[in-house]
Amino acid sequence: MENDQPNGKIITLFSTASAVGKTFLAVNMAAGLAASGYKVCLIDLDLQFGDVAYYLHLKPRHNLFDLVTQLQKTAVPSDINLFDYLTPYIHDDLQFFTLLPPDKLEQACNIFTAGINRCLNELQTCFDYLIVDTTSAFSEINLSVMDMSTIIAFIGIVDFIPTIKNMKIGYDTMHSIGYDNQKIHLILNRSDSKTNIELNDVRQLLKDDFYHIIPNNFQQAQSSLRSGIPLLASDKSSDLGKSIRQLINKCTDQRPSPTKNDSSLHGWMKHLFN
């Protein structure tokens, strides 16, 4: 383990509707942060139907269920090599880790909040950033992870009225829990997709502006999905890639980037696997 202090920042991607781009953005934020030299672990908390492995063409040997079970059995967590349970993603010089859900639904149903909190606490001691992909629900697990998070990237799209109604309920609920705008970042994805709804009406309803707006580009998103390579690991010049890069820069504003020497990730990875 790198150090014993849980210093890693947690960025959680959450939404009140499905298929708004949580996983797509989580994968690309992990790739973009790793490309900047940060130590990153992407955690798929869509326990039953997670898509991170699919997006990155990964086959996990061990998973979140195995790690939760092992941590439960162990009095001294530092005895566990966390990296045995993580699946690395490597593309050229870019590298980050993933913690993937089990492929058996009965195992997914037997992962509980306390186990996940323990995993996150342990992982925070090894990584600069934990990027957490979630399901679209105010579940106990999601609420607990949001509590632990430094940033909640609340992703919305503007397509139909019910989607916007649910975005409003979710956004208001998060403020009533006590999260402020330092913590919740309202992000509009697929901004220029076809709709008759005016963005200014949505802003008025939410009583807030968007922290960041990401364009819609079906072709760029699909080709990244097909190749299993995040946009921020390959096509950095695409408008979609650039916009996600800007989002990452905003989210890391208060953090100095690792120095060039610190970002020799090949060396870092070797150290962890030894």
Ligand X SMILES: Nc1ncnc2c1ncn2[C@@H]1O[C@H](COP(=O)(O)OP(=O)(O)OP(=O)(O)O)[C@@H](O)[C@H]1O
Q: Which is nearer to ligand X, 13 or 126 (CB)?
A: 13
Q: Does 57 bind ligand X (CB under 6 A)?
A: no
Q: Does 224 bind Mg ion (CB under 5 A)?
A: no
Using the contact rule CB under 6 A, the part of the chain among 22-30, 101-109, 164-172, 174-182 near ligand X is: 22-30
Q: Does 16 bind Mg ion (CB under 5 A)?
A: no
Shortest approach of ligand X to residue 24 CB, angstroms? 3
Q: Which is nearer to ligand X, 126 or 167 (CB)?
A: 167
CA distance linking residue 96 with residue 84, whole number of Å = 14
Shortest approach of ligand X to residue 136 CB, angstroms? 5
CA distance linking residue 258 with residue 175, whole number of Å = 33
Q: Does 149 bind Mg ion (CB under 5 A)?
A: no
Q: Which is nearer to Mg ion, 25 or 247 (CB)?
A: 25
Cβ atoms of 129 and 251 within 8 Å: the answer is: no
Q: Does 21 bind ligand X (CB under 6 A)?
A: yes
Query: Binding residue for Mg ion (CB under 5 A) from 12, 15, 16, 23?
Result: 23
Q: Does 70 bind Mg ion (CB under 5 A)?
A: no
Query: What's CA 141's distance to the chain center, in Å?
Result: 15
Using alpha carbons only, what angle is made at residue 39 by residues 37 and 40, rounded to the nearest 5 degrees?
115
Among 147, 150, 166, 177, CA closest to 254: 150
The count of residues interacting with Mg ion (CB under 5 A) is 3
Strand order in the sheet with 212-213: 87-91, 94-99, 40-44, 129-133, 9-14, 151-156, 184-188, 212-213
Q: Which residue has the tokens 């994968």?
A: 27
CA distance linking residue 79 with residue 18, whole number of Å = 38
Q: Does 163 bind ligand X (CB under 6 A)?
A: no
* Interface of this chain with ligand X, residues 174 to 213, rule: CB under 6 A: 189-190
Q: Which is nearer to ligand X, 81 or 193 (CB)?
A: 193
The count of residues interacting with ligand X (CB under 6 A) is 20
Q: Does 134 bind Mg ion (CB under 5 A)?
A: no
**Long-range contacts of the stretch 239-242 (C-beta < 8 A, 24+):** 239/215, 240/214, 240/215, 241/28
Q: Does 98 bind ligand X (CB under 6 A)?
A: no
Which DSSP string corresponds to 116-154? HHHHHHHHHTT-SEEEEE--SS--HHHHHHHHH-SEEEE
Q: Does 217 bind ligand X (CB under 6 A)?
A: yes
Shortest approach of ligand X to residue 174 CB, angstroms? 17
Six token digits for residue 125? 């001691």
Query: Binding residue for ligand X (CB under 6 A) from 11, 12, 15, 124?
Result: 15
Six token digits for residue 60? 């996990």
Shortest approach of ligand X to residue 151 CB, angstroms? 17
The residue ranges that bind ligand X (CB under 6 A) are: 15, 18-24, 46, 51, 136, 189-190, 214, 216-218, 221, 225, 240
The residue ranges that bind Mg ion (CB under 5 A) are: 22-23, 51
